[in-house]
Structure formats: C-alpha cells, structure tokens
Chain A
Amino acid sequence: GAVVSQHPSRVICKSGTSVKIECRSLDFQATTMFWYRQFPKQSLMLMATSNEGSKATYEQGVEKDKFLINHASLTLSTLTVTSAHPEDSSFYICSANSGTGGGDEQYFGPGTRLTVT
C-alpha cells in the first residue's frame, strides 16, 4: 500500500515553455503533499507544501509564480514550471502523507527528471 506515482517520469522541453508534473496517491487520500527538488549528488530541497483545497505554502527562496502548485483533490497535486530555463533542470520529487501508519510517514513518488534545453 501507500503508492505515489508521478507523471511524466522524464521530460525535455525548450527554454521558455511550461511543464506540468502530476503527483498522485494511488491507494490512499493525502490531504498534504510535498514537492522537492534534488540536484545531482545532493539532498532533497523542500520547495512547497501542498494542501488540498488551499494555497500551497512555499519555502523561502522558491518563486511561487514560477512554480505553480495546484492540489485539486485528495489524490492529485500538480507542479507547473512556468517559463522554464536551463537552471530549472533538476529531479523533482513529490511525496504524500498517508497518516495511517502511526509514524506520519511520507511516501515518495519515483521522481520526474526535467531537462530544459
């Protein structure tokens, strides 16, 4: 149980275009989802916390107008990278709280590799 999927797994886009990444909890409802960014050989950097039905909470230094987050349902959150630039190339990972195991576990999606050319 507690499976989180992401789509697409890999995307290459041209500079200036927008890219949408989906994060779904497949077998549980997640009131809270998280979006992370990971650079090569580095740890995960939390970008924002996404709550169903309300505005996302962005971490300091993350541009909310560039990284649009929508949490439209209890099983789906989307991250849209607007007007992408090469420096936005990264591995984007989402996670969701299952809230069922007693440990407040976060389950992670498989990640989306974004390359902006």
Chain B
Amino acid sequence: GEDVEQSLFLSVREGDSSVINCTYTDSSSTYLYWYKQEPGAGLQLLTYIFSNMDMKQDQRLTVLLNKKDKHLSLRIADTQTGDSAIYFCAEKGSGYSTLTFGKGTMLLVSP
C-alpha cells in the first residue's frame, strides 16, 4: 500500500524557524495536507497543496513540494511555544477520498 514517512521528533527554540519533512510513495497523489494535533484533541487542518504546485505560503506557514522526489515540507516561521504539537502529513491519491497519514512529527518549542 501507499506509505507516508515523517521524522518523529523536532526540537527548536522560540523564534527560530521549524522545518518538518515528509516523504510519500504514491505518485498519483493529488493533494497533500498538513494537520496539527494538540494533546487530547482532534486534528486541525493547517494547509494543503495541490500536486501541481511547488510552493504555498500562508502567513507563517510555507509548504514546499518536490514532486519528483515525492518530498513535502512544512516550514513554520518565528516558531512559538503554542506551536508545540504533533504535525501529520497526509496524502490523497487520485480517485480516492481517503487520506494516508504519516506517523506524525512531535514539535517541541522551548522558550
């Protein structure tokens, strides 16, 4: 089946930039998503990118997509302690409505 991989942990200092990386295997992916999950809560959709785009920026968030290498990244500028959470990468294949999730990256922001 399709696979989505993420590094498990990232630690940064407040004010620095954070970059969370994700790789996927489905070459027919149409949309790729980033979700944020705080402890004990559901998932919050942060942003998504269509597979024919290279970059999407939304305030402090920048998504980069390298379709050739099947690599997706999420950059959070000026990271705050409130950004500490687990970030999930997910992809949706062509013709499917279901998402395939990575295992999540725990981001820890220290003051």
Which of A's residues lie within 8 Å of B, judged by CB?
4, 6, 32, 34, 42-44, 46, 49, 93, 95, 97, 103-111, 113
**Taking the nearest CB of chain A, how far is it from the CB of B107, in angstroms?**
14
B103 and A43: CB pair below 8 A?
yes
Query: How far is B96's CA from A32's CA once the two chains are assembled, in angstroms?
Result: 12
23 contacts between A and B (CB under 8 A): A6-B42, A32-B97, A34-B99, A42-B103, A43-B88, A43-B102, A43-B103, A46-B98, A49-B97, A93-B42, A95-B43, A103-B31, A103-B50, A104-B31, A104-B97, A105-B45, A105-B48, A106-B33, A108-B44, A109-B42, A110-B42, A111-B40, A111-B41
A43 and B101: CB pair below 8 A?
yes
**Taking the nearest CB of chain B, how far is it from the CB of A21, in angstroms?**
12
